Amino acid sequence: MDVEVKQKTHLVFVYGTLKKSFPNSHLLKDAEYVGEYVTLDQYPLVVGGPWFSPYLLNVCGAGERVFGEVYKVSDHELEDLDQLENVGVNYTRKLLKVEFVESPGRIMEVFAYLKCNYNDDLLKKDYMAKYNDRRYIPRSKRAAYLAQETNLMTSSYKQSQTLESS
């Protein structure tokens, strides 16, 4: 006798590289898109770090109401997102209230990933309501990026040494 195990689903608010047409959107390919939502409270959304990552800082009341997308995900997909966001170290998964953009007043509680381990310099950056930055460097391209940067620095150093010895 086959017993079908029904998976629990979760609503997740994404505001950065997991949104449609962004580099990590493929991680939500099996998730159900619910719609565009905006946080009820204000949060600082900034771009930072060497990979130009979007960070939603865990400081309620500062910043802007942040726009993003809500997806319905399975337990397994939620675990994958927790791993991507390094929950417990770099991010915390927290319940937030969001409002449906197309139907103001329609509010629901969803999970979101908020940066919890950060340098206070991020609070000095410009806050944004909507992430549209395209400079983010996905994990799959970081080794090549570092190699390119190292080559540029080495070339620049060699050039300066040549000029000094002339």
* 41 and 113 assigned to the same domain: yes
* Active site amino acids: 85
In a domain, 128, yes or no: yes
In a domain, 83, yes or no: yes
* 49 and 96 assigned to the same domain: yes
In a domain, 2, yes or no: no
* 86 and 160 assigned to the same domain: no
Q: How far apart are alpha carbons 89 and 110 in whole angstroms?
A: 21
In a domain, 31, yes or no: yes
Report in angstroms the alpha-carbon separations of 140 from 13, 19, 130, 136. 24, 18, 25, 11
- Domain boundaries, position 154: 138-166
Per-residue pLDDT of the chain (166 residues; tens, 9 = 90+): 566 666 799 999 999 999 999 999 999 999 999 999 999 999 999 999 889 999 999 999 999 999 999 999 999 999 999 999 999 999 999 999 999 999 999 999 999 999 998 999 999 999 999 999 999 988 788 876 566 666 555 555 455 555 565 5
Residues ≥6 apart with Cβ < 8 Å to 83: none
- The owner of tokens 């689903």 is 9
* 101 and 49 assigned to the same domain: yes
Q: How far apart are alpha carbons 58 and 143 in whole angstroms?
A: 29
Q: Where are the beta strands (DSSP E) in 5-161?
A: 9-14, 32-43, 45-48, 53-56, 64-74, 91-100, 107-115
Neighbour-count burial of 158, counting CB atoms closer than 10 A to its CB (0-12 exposed, 13-18 middle, 19+ buried)? exposed
Question: What CATH number has the domain bearing residue 119?
Answer: 3.10.490.10
* 118 and 149 assigned to the same domain: no
* 152 and 86 assigned to the same domain: no
* 114 and 150 assigned to the same domain: no
Q: How many domains does the chain divide into?
A: 2
In a domain, 1, yes or no: no
In a domain, 149, yes or no: yes
Q: What is the pLDDT of residue 153?
A: 56
* 125 and 142 assigned to the same domain: no
